[in-house]
Each structure stands twice: as C-alpha cells, then as structure tokens.
Amino acid sequence: MSTQLDLECRQVVKSFGKFTAVDNVSLEIPQGSFFSILGPSGCGKTTLLRMLAGFIEPTTGDIRIKDKSMLGVPPNKRPANMVFQHLALFPMMNVAENIAYGLKRRKIGQAEIDRKVADVLERVSLPDAGEKRIEQLSGGQRQRIAIARSLVLEPALLLLDEPLGALDLKLREHMKVELKQLQHEVGTTFVYITHDQSEALVMSDNVAVMNEGRFEQVGTPQDLYYNPSTAFVAGFVGDANRWEGRIESLEGGQAMVALEEGGVIATSFAPGTSFSAGETVDLFVRPEAIVIERSKAAQEKARLSGGKNTLSGVVQNLLFDGANSRALVRDQATGHEVMVSLPQTGAFSDLKSGEALVLSWDVEKTRAFKATKAASQGIAA
Amino acid sequence: MSSVSTLSGTAEQERKVPVIKLGTFLLMLPLLLWLFLLIILPHVDLLMVSLREKLGYREYAFSFQNYIEFFTEPLYWNTFVRTAVMSIIATVITLVVGFPISYYIAKVLKGKKRSLLFMMCLIPFWVSELVRTFGWMILLRESGVISSFLQWAGVVDGPVEMLYNDASLMVGLVYTSMLFMVVPLVSVLDTLDDSLIEAGYDLGGNTFNILREIVIPHAMPGIASGCIVVFMLTLGNYLTPTLLGGKDGLWFTEQIYNQFITRFNWESGSAFGFLLLILSSAIVFVGLKLSRQTLADTVK
Amino acid sequence: MKSAKTTLSLKKAILGVTAIVGLAFSAQAQAEELRLLTWGGYAPDAVVEQFKAETGIDVKVTKSNNEEMIAKLRATGGGGFDLAQPSQDRIAGAQAENRIYKPMDLSKIDSSLFISSMLDATKTNTTYEGEVYGVPHIWGTSGLVLDTKKAGDVKDYADLCNEAHAGKVSYRLKRPTLIGFAFSMGMDPFEAYGDTAKYQEIMDKVEAKLISCKANVKTYWEGGDALLNLVRSGEVVAAMAWDTGGWKLNGDNPDVTFVAPASGALGWIDTFALPRKTENEEAAYKWINFVMRPEIAAQITAEAGNFTASKGADAFAEDKLKAQFQASFPEQDLNNIKWYPTVPAGLETIEGKVLDRVKAASSN
C-alpha cells in the first residue's frame, strides 16, 4: 500500500467545558480506503466527524488532510465533503442544481458544470434525474444524489454521517453493497461513521471502534471480529456470550476460569495481554463458535472435557431467522443463558424448546479480558 | 392514471356536498354572520355610497364621478403614490432590519436568550400605538432626549429637530411594523434545517451565497407574508404619519379620514377607501408575481 | 385609517343590532340619563354632580369636536345622543344636508338667563326653514398665541410667515386658519360666503400664501394639548390658536399670551342643539337652563377658560381670567371680532381641497 495519507489525526482532543467528547484520538487513513468509525451513540464519533469537516475546531491536536494542517481552515475551504445524516439536500433546488451548487462556488464554466453533473449522475445510475425536484425522489435516490453532490467536487475525503440510518432494512442492505461498490470505483477515501456494526463490517477496509471519546481498537473488520483487543470491542462488534469469573490457574497459553455460578471455563489470551491468578475476568464466546449436540445426559456444570469447553442446557427459546437462526440455551446448573447459532446444514431444524443440548467450543475460541464496566455496556448496546 | 381517478373522486365528492346538515350549518353560522355583517355588508354599503354623486341636499345620482376625480385630480393621485412608495420603502427597510434579527433569534440563539430577545421584540406592542408614537415624539423632538444628548455631548451647538419629516416618519413606521415582520420570519427560519446551512458551507459556499441561494429561497413564503402584512399595515396606518410625519406628508388614510370627517364627503371617502383596497391589492399581486410566490404559499 | 372607514359604515350595519339591544335598555334608562355630545371642559364633573343632586338625572358626557359631532350624528341619523353642542355656524348646513337636528322649543328655555344679543344672533344663524335649531352656550375667539419677548413683532396671521421665526411657528390645517389668513391678507371671506367663485378666488390666494409659508412652520398642530406643549417647551414662539390656550400658558409664563390679531380675532359660539332622535328632550332643556345659571356658568368658565352666554356670570368669574381677557381684548379689538356666519354648503369642499394641497405641498 502506498504511504500517501489522505487523513491523519494527531492526538485530537475536543472538550466542551468539563466534558471531553473526543479524547486523544490519533488515526491515519491511507489514500483510497473505506474507513469506518463505529461506536454507540454519544461516543464522540459525530464530534470527531464534524471536526474533520471543519464545523468544530479541536481543543488540542492536529488534523491533516493530504498532509496539510486543517487547523483554522473553514469548512468551505477544506478538501473534504460531507454527506449529512438526513442528507441535507436543498429542497429549493432541483437535482442538477443541488449537484452544481459546489461547482458554481468554484467559478467553473457552465458547460463544464453541466458535463460534470451529467457524469456524476451517470455514475450514481440516475442519468435522467437532473430536472427532478428533491421531493420526487425515493429514499435511495436521494442517498445517491447526496453522495453525488459531494463526489462531483472530487474531494480528498468524503465524510458520511450515518446516511443509511433513515432507510428501511432492505434498502439499507442494498445501499451497503452499492456504497462499497461506488467507493471502489471512484477511489475516493470514505470516512463513514455509524453505530451499526453490520454497516461498518460489510463496507470498510478498516474500522475504528470508538467508546467514550477514545478509540478502543482500529483494524480490519476481520481483526475486530476475531481478535478483539478489548472487552468493549468483543461485546460491541458482533454478538457474544459473556461470563464473569476468576482465574483459578494459568498454564501455558491457557487459563482456567471459575464462574461465579459454578463451573469452569478454559480460555486463551489475546496476544499481548497478561493475567495473573485470582484476577476477575470477562469471558466472550461467539454464538457460532459453539457446537451443539442433542443429549440425554444428566445436567452438568461447565467444564473442560476432551480439550473443549462443555456445558449442558435446555433450549429456552428458538429464534428462527433463516440462515441466521439461533437458540437460547439455559444452563440448568447455573441459570446462565447462552446464545448458540444453529448450523446452516439444517441439522437442527426440528429442534424444539425444552430439548436438552450439550454445548462445546474450542478453548481458543474463548476470549478473556480484564473485567470492566465497559464490557457490559458494549453488550447492552 | 392516478390523476384521472383523483379527478373523478373529487367530482363524486362534489355531488355530495349540497347536502349540508343542519348541525353543520349552525356551527358555521357565527362565521357566516361575522363574514356577512362585518366584512361583506359594510363593503357593499361602501361601494354603493362611493358610486353616487351629490347633486344637492339629499339628492344623489349614480355616477363614477368620485372615482374619476381620484384619477384626474393630481392631489389625490400623488398622495396615493407617495403613500404607496413610502409604504414600500418602509416594508423594505423593515425586512432588511428584521431579517438579521429573525435569523439571530431563530438560528443563533438558544433557550432563554432566544425567548428573551423575542420578548423584547414583543414588549413594545403591549402598549398602544399612540403611546409608542408619543414615545418617539419625546425622543425626537427639538427639546427631546436625543437632541439634548447631542448638545450635551457637544456634537451639535443648538437644538436639532428630528420630528416632522419623512425620516422620522420612516422610523416610526418601521418600528410599528417590526413585530409583524419578525414573527413570520422567525417561524419560517425555524423550519430551516441547520444542516442545509452546514451543507452549503461544506460544499464551498460562503455566507453571502448561502443566504442568497438557501436561506432566502427557504424563507421566501415568510418574507412574502411578512411583507404583505407590513405593507398593508403601513399603507393603512393613520396615527404614525399624522403624528410623526408632520407638515410635509399627506398620508392616503388621512385623506380618507378627511373626506369622511372634516369634509362630510362620504361619497369620495368611500371611493378612496375602495381604491385603496384595490390598488394595494394590485401592488401586493405584482409583488407576489415578481417574487414568484403564490398567496397560498404565503398563508401556509 | 382603514378602521375609521370601516367603523363608519359599520355603524349602519350594527345599527339594527344596537337598536334591539337599545330598546331593551332604554325603557329603564330613559328617565335618568342625559347623553351629552360636547367639547372638553363644557361639562365639568362638579356641575354634573350638582345637576344630578338637583334633578336626579345622570349626564353621560362624550367629548368631541365639530366635525366628529356631525359625523357621529350623521352615522346614526341623529341618534345616540340627547343633546349636542356644535358651533353655531355649522348647524344650518348640516341640518340641510343630513337632517340630524330637531327644532328647539324656545318656550322651554329661560331666555332671561342669556345675554340677549348673543341669543338673538345665534337664533338667526341657526334658523333653517323657519325653525330655530340652536341656543348659545360658550363663546370664544381664535387669534395669536405669542411669546411676546421673542415674537413681539407678530401682529397678524400673515406675520407668522416672517422669516425671523422660521421653524418656530405653528397653526392648524383647518378652516379657521384659511379664514384668518384671508382676513389678514386684506380680504373678507365672510362676505364671499354666498359667491362660490369669489370664495374660490380668495381661497386660491390663501393657498398660495400657506404653501409659501410652509417652510416657516414647525408642524401643523392637531390637538390643543400638543400646541400647549410646543409653546411651553419654547419650540414654537408664535401660533394661531384659541384664546384659552394663550391664557393657560400665560399662567405659567407671563411672556406668553393671547393676542387679538390686527385684522380681528375670529369669534365662535358653541351652542346647544337637539339631535333628531333625542330620547330625553326634557332633561336636555333642564340641563340648558341649569348650566346657564350665572353661578354654574362661572364654574364652567373656570374649567373651560371661555366665557359663556349666561347673563351675569361675569360677576362670578375669576379676576385673573377677567384681567387676561381685558389684556387681550382692548375695546377696539373686542369690537373687531369677526363672528362666523353660517357656512353655506359647498364651501367645505373648496376649503378641503385647499387644505389637502397645502398639506401635500413640499415645504422647500
């Protein structure tokens, strides 16, 4: 990858009075990538984005676009354009005028403007929409026009503020693919903020998970999903089952963790973390990592059996969702509820509530983090 | 084809309309009475009075004389033109002064400060127009507050008279009308999404062209309705022109008052009243056409 | 002024409604109430109370002026009031045009209370088709109110246009001004009352004079209080105004007083006249005879500042007022007072246009 950076943030801080909305955030986004900032509402991601756009000045730190400091540069002078949450298309203008608005500000000739507007409308597959009024467009079309209005200015950065939020589910799924495709074609760097982990994971080259004004982890979607480095990320990105417990013993790369309700789960560590015996930890296991078997055997507490964590329980609830179907299994011994994915082979399509199951998963699929409050928040969100 | 079905739909509805229930009629009765007794009847009366010419004591004949006289006597026509031009100028000044205030109230201020400033625009209207006008007279007269202050500050040597001219009249008219401009402007600017303004900046716009291309087009219905109200109020104002305008200006309403009260000439007073109604409506109509607004948008 | 226009024709519309409501109330209110349409100061509270104590009749006072009185009575066809007080010169014309008054029953009036010359003059002036419509109540003059120290050179109305007093002069834009200026320019408008063409000619000259004089004028005053303020603050040093105004100011500042102009002060007499639909004629006569008693008339003079047509009231008047009157009116000036004759129809239209043109003219 070329080392040309489109955006660089250096220790950016923004405080409002005593409240720190963005706390010492640094990031580097290489040219042409799709970068998402993922976080729950109130995490500071919108503040960060508005600082990138120039509506807010950072309290300290530096923002550099194309290696130029943007401090003191007003939004209308920055090579960054924004797609607003509610799109902010100008209702008093038609589609072509909306798109031409920015071009006109650059004193470009009318013929050139017309050509560029036609090009970008072509690009977003709405070649004939130029004369339409904004209120005549569907939600998806508006989306595309809003993006076209920014893209036509060929910005170094395109900032997107949860623009899919207002769309219905089906259209949102569709637009995710389309946005990704569009970014790939135009090659502009996208900075996308969202609270929807699926949007971030599907579209992005890199994702920053943000919480309480800080970046928890920055990495590829795969990294975040499979190798979360904090309890918050583990809980916020994707679904996860969580247990709390105390480390009983450490051995090699593994630890035995005693659960509060009884039973023991073996866990591996994330690289670069260290634990000591007696520490309280949070354990995370993804639903799809758990293998299920029907069983008539007596109820037993969680234990390590044959190199795998094993526990038995009873199906409490079936959550059918096609390929994404799950079951909520109750550990009879401890009362803990565990979410498991049903295999897509359809092997358990006849599963019923009340059936007894044995759950098992590899030790490496368990992640342990030092216990924090944030972990529980992550799951709640 | 949806339009066709809509059309037939309304046609069907219209066939049902004539059956008005007694209850509906009774409910509408106060409105109808109000319309008829207080709006239509006086105007019909006015029209009839305006269309007669006095021949002698209690002798009248149908005639357009009162109307013809308006157009042939330069005095009346000039008075009307002067009144209309001054009203238009007052409207424009009110708009120019009121717009930034409204923008500030609607977009910049939040919470308490916003209510406070809005209140400050409103408070002068708690006292009667007469008292407000006298207030201005106390300020502007030769032995008044401003004149004394200027002398005290050494800016001028002797007392200055600031009353009884077109400028003081303008000040009074603008002051009297301000609220009627600010209220519709604030409410229309309230509905302007802040992100549209931000989008304008983000796309490279500066304050001036955001104002011209986004804020003003959005505010146009409010501007139009504010201007219509202010124009009509100013044109129909009597107190301010008489008290502050002084010796130079004859306001058209003063002319009507004179016809009715001091000349006992109800005929030409009525005709002038009607002409005021028609001509001012025509000016508003032209104004709406020029600004490409419709009356329906304005009252929305 | 849209509202005034509407209210006027409104009155007709609402008349029906009011009449019904009025009927319900009138039966009981009739005997006890006198609705008086008059000028400020003509019915002091003290007098109203004495009248009530003596007769049990309540007097409801509405303050107005000549033009409004006629307009009000015209709107209701002479209803709404039981007694009105228009100036004597404005009765016959208004009666001819609008039929708003009712003839006086002179036998109900104690003529011994009146100064007989004034009573006779008023009767003559208010006679229309052989009937008498008015008896005199209060009289006064208009002339010049001057700050004698600063504007001692102003001897007549035309002197108001002296450049020496530019911006310090005021007068009304009403018919007395036209008449006054005509006299001071050496013409006699009263003589031309019957000759419209000649009157027009006089008025054209007055118009030219008033327009050329416009730059001198500070403002055209409207209400008496406004003028008093202007003179009191020194913003105006010479004005055409009523005698009482000058005397009032004289009390505060001895330099300021009322001066009869060289061409003669204009004399007016306000009368009593019965509106055509008066509902309490008896009370009206009682009121007339009551206020014409010398001691009551003196009380009114003290309040209004003007003298009445009541015989012997002078004896009760304040010495100060008498002294002011005598200072303003030496013998020859008193004889020189020009009393307004009845205004013939049509003149008001001529005057109206002159006044409008003067008002609309540019002052430079």
Identify whether residues A158 and A260 lie together within a single domain: no
Identify whether residues B134 and B276 lie together within a single domain: yes
Identify whether residues B94 and B219 lie together within a single domain: yes
pLDDT of amino acid C303: 85
Is B203's CB within 8 Å of A85's CB?
no
Residue ranges of domains in chain C: 2-139+268-338, 142-265+341-360
| Within-domain flag for B111 | yes
Is B248's CB within 8 Å of C362's CB?
yes
B196 chain-A contacts, CB cut-off 8 A:
88, 90
Identify whether residues B37 and B122 lie together within a single domain: no
Give the tens place of pLDDT for each residue, C148-178. 999 889 999 999 999 889 889 999 988 899 9
Interchain touch A–B (≥3 Cβ pairs closer than 8 Å): yes
How many inter-chain contacts (A to B, CB under 8 Å) are there? Answer: 64
Identify whether residues B255 and B151 lie together within a single domain: yes
**Residue from the list B203, B214, B218 with its beta carbon closest to the beta carbon of A102:** B203
pLDDT of amino acid B246: 67
| Helix intervals (H) in chain A | 45-53, 95-105, 110-123, 139-151, 169-186, 197-203, 221-226, 231-236, 373-380
Identify whether residues A134 and A216 lie together within a single domain: yes
DSSP letter at A363 equals G
Provide the mean pLDDT of chain C.
86
| Domain membership of residue B258 as a residue range | 67-299
Identify whether residues A314 and A187 lie together within a single domain: no
Q: Rounded to whole angstroms, how far apart are CA atoms C323 and A68?
A: 95
C355 chain-B contacts, CB cut-off 8 A:
258
**Residue from the list A86, A88, A92 with its beta carbon closest to the beta carbon of B217:** A92
pLDDT of amino acid C11: 46
Q: Does B42 touch chain C (CB under 8 A)?
A: yes
Q: Rounded to whole angstroms, how far apart are CA atoms C339 and C183?
A: 12
Q: Does B142 touch chain C (CB under 8 A)?
A: yes
pLDDT of amino acid B48: 87
**Residue from the list A77, A84, A149 with its beta carbon closest to the beta carbon of B195:** A84
Is A84's CB within 8 Å of B198's CB?
yes
Q: Is the pLDDT assigned to residue B10 strictly greater than 50?
A: no
Class of domain C142-265+341-360: alpha beta
| Within-domain flag for A236 | no
Q: Rounded to whole angstroms, how far apart are CA atoms A67 and B216?
A: 37
Helix H or strand E encompassing B261: none
What CATH number has the domain bearing residue B208?
A: 1.10.3720.10
Q: Return the number of other C-beta atoms located less than 10 Å from residue A280's C-beta.
A: 13
User: Using 50, 70 and 90 to split pLDDT, how confident is the model at B299?
Assistant: low
User: Using 50, 70 and 90 to split pLDDT, how confident is the model at C363?
Assistant: low
Q: Which of A182, A208, A231 marks a domain boundary?
A: A231
Identify whether residues A227 and A246 lie together within a single domain: no
Is B42's CB within 8 Å of C68's CB?
no
| Within-domain flag for B205 | yes
**Residue from the list B142, B254, B256 with its beta carbon closest to the beta carbon of C235:** B142
Task: Tell me how far the alpha carbon of residue B297 is from its chain's centroid.
Answer: 17
| Within-domain flag for B56 | no
Is B199's CB within 8 Å of A90's CB?
yes
Bridge-based pairing state of the strands A308-319 and A303-305: antiparallel
Identify whether residues B22 and B103 lie together within a single domain: no
User: Using 50, 70 and 90 to split pLDDT, how confident is the model at C135?
Assistant: very high
Identify whether residues A82 and A11 lie together within a single domain: yes
Hey, of A73, A83, A84, which one would you mutate to test binding to chain B, going by the most B CBs within 10 A of its CB?
A84
Task: Tell me if domain C2-139+268-338 and domain C142-265+341-360 are identical in fold.
Answer: yes
Is A149's CB within 8 Å of B203's CB?
yes
ipTM above 0.90, yes or no: no
Average pLDDT over residues B158-169: 82
Average pLDDT over residues C81-92: 92
Higher pLDDT among residues B207 and C331, named by residue: B207
| Domain membership of residue A136 as a residue range | 5-231
A102 to chain B: closest CA residue: B203
What CATH number has the domain bearing residue A141?
A: 3.40.50.300
Is A105's CB within 8 Å of B204's CB?
yes
Identify whether residues A167 and A94 lie together within a single domain: yes
Which mean pLDDT values do the consecutive 10-residue runs of chain A (381 residues) have?
76 92 92 93 92 93 92 92 92 93 91 93 89 91 92 92 86 89 91 92 93 93 90 88 88 82 81 78 90 77 81 88 87 84 83 88 87 51 34
Identify whether residues A373 and A252 lie together within a single domain: yes
B259 chain-C contacts, CB cut-off 8 A:
352
Half-sphere exposure for A248 (CA within 13 Å, toward CB): 13
pLDDT of amino acid B203: 92
Identify whether residues A220 and A272 lie together within a single domain: no
Is B256's CB within 8 Å of C4's CB?
yes
Give the tens place of pLDDT for each residue, B217-231. 999 999 999 999 999
| Within-domain flag for B57 | no
Q: Is C232 helix (H, G, I), strand (E, B) or coil?
A: helix
Is A88's CB within 8 Å of B198's CB?
yes
pLDDT of amino acid C313: 82
**Residue from the list A77, A84, A153 with its beta carbon closest to the beta carbon of B199:** A84
Identify whether residues A248 and A218 lie together within a single domain: no
Contact assessment for residue A156 and residue A68, using Cβ atoms and an 8 Å cutoff: no
Angle between helices C243-252 and C319-328 (to 10 degrees): 120
Angle at C104 between CA C100 and CA C110, to 5 degrees: 145
* Residues β-bridged to residue A64: A8, A69
Average pLDDT over residues B120-129: 83
Give the tens place of pLDDT for each residue, A38-93. 999 889 999 999 999 999 999 999 999 998 999 999 999 999 999 999 999 999 99
Identify whether residues A206 and A250 lie together within a single domain: no
A93 chain-B contacts, CB cut-off 8 A:
213, 217
Bridge-based pairing state of the strands A206-211 and A189-194: unpaired
* C-alpha torsion C221→C223→C224→C225, nearest 10: -100
Percent of chain B's residues with pLDDT above 70: 91
Percent of chain B's residues with pLDDT above 90: 29
Distance (Å) from the alpha carbon of B11 to chain A's nearest alpha carbon: 27
pLDDT of amino acid A71: 92
| Within-domain flag for B264 | yes
Instruction: Count how many domains chain B has.
Output: 2
Identify whether residues A149 and A253 lie together within a single domain: no
Superfamily in which the C2-139+268-338 domain is placed by CATH = Periplasmic binding protein-like II (3.40.190.10)
| Within-domain flag for A338 | yes
Chains that touch A (3 or more CB pairs under 8 A): B
Q: Return the number of other C-beta atoms located less than 10 Å from residue A187's C-beta.
A: 9
Structure tokens at B37: 């007794």
| Within-domain flag for B46 | yes
Provide the mean pLDDT of chain B.
84
DSSP letter at C307 equals E
DSSP letter at A229 equals S
Identify whether residues A156 and A219 lie together within a single domain: yes
**Which residues fall within 8 angstroms of residue C71, CB to CB, at 6 or more apart?**
B260, B261, B264, C8
A153 chain-B contacts, CB cut-off 8 A:
203-204
Q: Is the pLDDT assigned to residue B54 strictly greater than 90?
A: no
Give the tens place of pLDDT for each residue, C235-268. 899 999 988 888 889 888 899 999 999 999 999 9
